[in-house]
Amino acid sequence: MKNPLYRAFIKAGEQAGYGYTEDYNGYRQEGFGRMDMTVRDGVRCSTAMAYLKPAMNRPNLDIQTHALTTRVIMDGKTAVGVEYRQGGKTLKVRARKEVILSASSFNSPKLLMLSGIGPADHLKEHGIEVVHDLPGVGQNLQDHLEVWVQQECTQKITLNSWLGPLAKAWIGANWLFLKRGLGTSNQFESNGYIRSRAGMKYPDIQFHFLAGAIAYDGSSAFKGHGFQVHLGANKPKSRGWVKLKSADPEAPPEIVFNYFAEEEDKEAFRAGLRWTREIFAQPALDEYRGKEVSPGPDVQTDEQIDQWLAETAETAYHPAGSCRMGTDAMAVVDPECRVHGVRNLRVVDSSIMPTVTNGNLNAPTIMIGEKAAARGGLVHHADGHQRQPQRTDDHDRRKSRRLYPRPHPAAQRRAQLRPRRLAKQPTRQRSRKKRLEPRGLWELACKRKAGKAGRQDPRGLVGAAVRKGSGILPGASLPFAGGARSHKVRSHKAGSRHPQ
């Protein structure tokens, strides 16, 4: 957070009485603090970068691109494969165990309905054979809306300074060649969570602060210098739907969010705007604050705010809930992500959320994928029951470990701690040295190594370590004071049991 506006916004939130949160993804979400980003080494760390790319060479992974999935192949009420189009051809792939849909809150319900799983009447309208009547497919669609509140800045320190072609070229070159500078950030570096009214169980208003006055898609910017906060009411009551327009898989689905259908959603935004103005009025922003740019000081009444919302509100691209998890009649998947009423079919994406999260959707959706992968392995049998798959023999397990070596975190920690444990047991190690080789020869070998290193061991650290019985073993790397190299001191005696 090099730009001082980010810290000033956090301070303004504290001055308004909301407090500071060290980690809004941890114990306390409510409050103001630094915003996390999924960025690694200056590059957006997408799920493809973090999960798919490292697994590209696995023999059990086959990736097909430029392909359109058309339906899940069903054998009665059992999913047995997937049909897709690629290069003008219709192809099929068979599943040994399960089919997993992870196609978004729009396309997962679409694929279910194209496969005959969904509201029976709606499927019959498009001439699709009903495999299983599941009325909740495509219902319960939710999203986050956002508006931005803009303020003029009296100091020329905002991102509006970097909107010219030469400045953009400099940002791009700095990122492309050095992976540093403004190009390594999404520019939303501080945020806040508050409650729109008393009695709320958890925060329902989210702020993303931007050190610039720019449209969300970058299409327009304030003429001058400014800053803004993106205001979102993150627990909407309004519900929409996803439906088929036709039985053609290439036809886009009908998507209706039904924004502001519930009066409570408007009330949350009205309160959010008034709290935003209160935060912007705090002393922390006095040296930066100019006049209000959007919505403007003339927008005060509920009717005026509602009109502003209708004209400026935009999606935050957080669709969720269209294949929601649950056990009631309108639920689509059970708590294990399995589609109700059919076998060997799961949905694993944001569509299974019963209600949209009161924060950004990317990390929770990744968590859904990790949880589903960790808890997978249950297979359906002909009798309808679920059992753990039988264990393979030792040979298969050894082969699996060779193909996919995944050291357990506990094993990695033990490996890291092992040298420390040796150092904590000088008595045992010292006694072994005495038994296996004369102490004088061992110390002499160390001193000779230190002498060859010249000034790298000016204080005789190696000899001191041996004299004090530090637990250093023959064959271990001995760091010298110079730090540039490490030297191998090997046991001179044949048959030594110390590792070489």
The per-residue pLDDT for range 82-95, each reduced to its tens digit, is 999 999 999 999 99
Decide if 318 is catalytic.
yes
pLDDT band at 173 (very low <50, low <70, confident <90, very high): very high
pLDDT band at 413 (very low <50, low <70, confident <90, very high): low
Q: What is the pLDDT of residue 163?
A: 86
Q: Whose CA is closest to 8, among 291, 216, 292, 281? A: 281
The residue type found at 258 is N
- Is the pLDDT assigned to residue 98 strictly greater than 60? yes
Q: What is the pLDDT of residue 106?
A: 97
For 219-251, the pLDDT digits (tens) are 778 888 999 999 999 999 999 999 999 999 999
Instruction: Flag whether the pTM goes above 0.75.
Output: no
What is the percent of the chain with per-residue pLDDT over 90, rounded to a whole number?
Answer: 64
The residue type found at 50 is A
SS (H, E, C) the chain: CCCHHHHHHHHHHHHCCCCECCCCCCCCCCEEEECCCCEECCEECCHHHHHHHHHCCCCCCCCCCCEEEEEEEEECCEEEEEEEEECCEEEEEECCCCEEECCHHHHHHHHHHHCCEECHHHHHHCCCCCCEECCCCCEEEECCEEEEEEEEECCCCCHHHHCCHHHHHHHHHHHHHHCCCHHHCCCEEEEEEECCCCCCCCCCEEEEEECCCECCCCCCECCCCEEEEEEEECCCCCCEEEECCCCCCCCCCEEECCCCCCHHHHHHHHHHHHHHHHHHCCHHHCCCEEEEEECCCCCCCHHHHHHHHHHHCEECCCCECCCCECCCCCCCECCCCEECCCECEEECCHHHCCCCCCCCCHHHHHHHHHHHHHHCCCEECCCCCEECCCCCCHHHHHHHHHHCCCCCHHHHHHHHHHHHHHHCCHHHHHHHHHHHCCHHHHHHHHHHHHHHCHHHCCCCHHHHHHHCCCCCCCCCEEECCCCCCEEECCCCCCCCCCCC
Distance between CA atoms of residues 42 and 277, nearest Å:
33
Q: What is the pLDDT of residue 103?
A: 95
- Is the pLDDT assigned to residue 449 strictly greater than 50? no
112, two tokens: 């279910």
Residues 195-215 have a mean pLDDT of: 91
Tell which wins on pLDDT, 463 or 246.
246
Q: What is the pLDDT of residue 56?
A: 92
Exposed/middle/buried for 258, CB within 10 Å: 0-12, 13-18, 19+? middle
Q: What is the pLDDT of residue 221?
A: 80
For 340-369, the pLDDT digits (tens) are 999 999 999 999 999 999 999 999 999 999
Give the contacts of 8 (CB within 8 A, at least 6 positions apart).
284, 285, 288
- Is the pLDDT assigned to residue 5 strictly greater than 60? yes
Q: Whose CA is closest to 138, among 238, 254, 248? A: 254
Exposed/middle/buried for 293, CB within 10 Å: 0-12, 13-18, 19+? buried
For 294-327, the pLDDT digits (tens) are 999 999 999 999 999 999 999 999 999 999 999 9
- Is the pLDDT assigned to residue 493 strictly greater than 60? no
Q: Whose CA is closest to 74, among 19, 116, 103? A: 116
Q: How far is CA 123 from the centre of its chain?
A: 35
Distance between CA atoms of residues 98 and 96, nearest Å:
7
Q: What is the pLDDT of residue 85?
A: 96
Residue of 318, 395, 487, 492 marked catalytic: 318
- Is the pLDDT assigned to residue 260 strictly greater than 70? yes
Tell which wins on pLDDT, 320 or 201.
320
Backbone torsion region of residue 310, taken as left when φ is above 0, otherwise alpha when ψ lies between -120 and 50, otherwise beta: alpha
Residue 467's DSSP bridge partners are: none
Distance between CA atoms of residues 331 and 329, nearest Å:
6
For 264-278, the pLDDT digits (tens) are 999 999 999 999 999
Average pLDDT of the chain, as a whole number: 80
Distance between CA atoms of residues 471 and 252, nearest Å:
68
Distance between CA atoms of residues 174 and 180, nearest Å:
6
Q: How far is CA 55 from the centre of its chain?
A: 18
What are the angstrom distances between the C-alpha of 136 and each of 126, 141, 242, 347?
Answer: 18, 10, 10, 13
Q: What is the pLDDT of residue 452?
A: 46
What are the angstrom distances between the C-alpha of 375 and each of 336, 345, 372?
Answer: 8, 14, 5
Q: What is the pLDDT of residue 435?
A: 43
Residue 227's DSSP bridge partners are: 151
Residues 107-126 have a mean pLDDT of: 97
What are the angstrom distances between the C-alpha of 5 and each of 188, 209, 283, 388?
Answer: 11, 9, 13, 55
The residue type found at 417 is L
Q: Whose CA is closest to 118, among 252, 240, 243? A: 243
- Is the pLDDT assigned to residue 426 strictly greater than 70? no
What is the percent of the chain with per-residue pLDDT over 70, rounded to a whole number?
Answer: 75
Q: Which of 121-130, 198-207, 209-218, 374-383 has the lowest mean pLDDT?
A: 374-383
- Is the pLDDT assigned to residue 66 strictly greater than 90? yes
436 and 493 Cβ atoms separated by less than 8 Å: yes
Exposed/middle/buried for 304, CB within 10 Å: 0-12, 13-18, 19+? middle
Residues 103-110 have a mean pLDDT of: 97
Residues 38-57 have a mean pLDDT of: 91
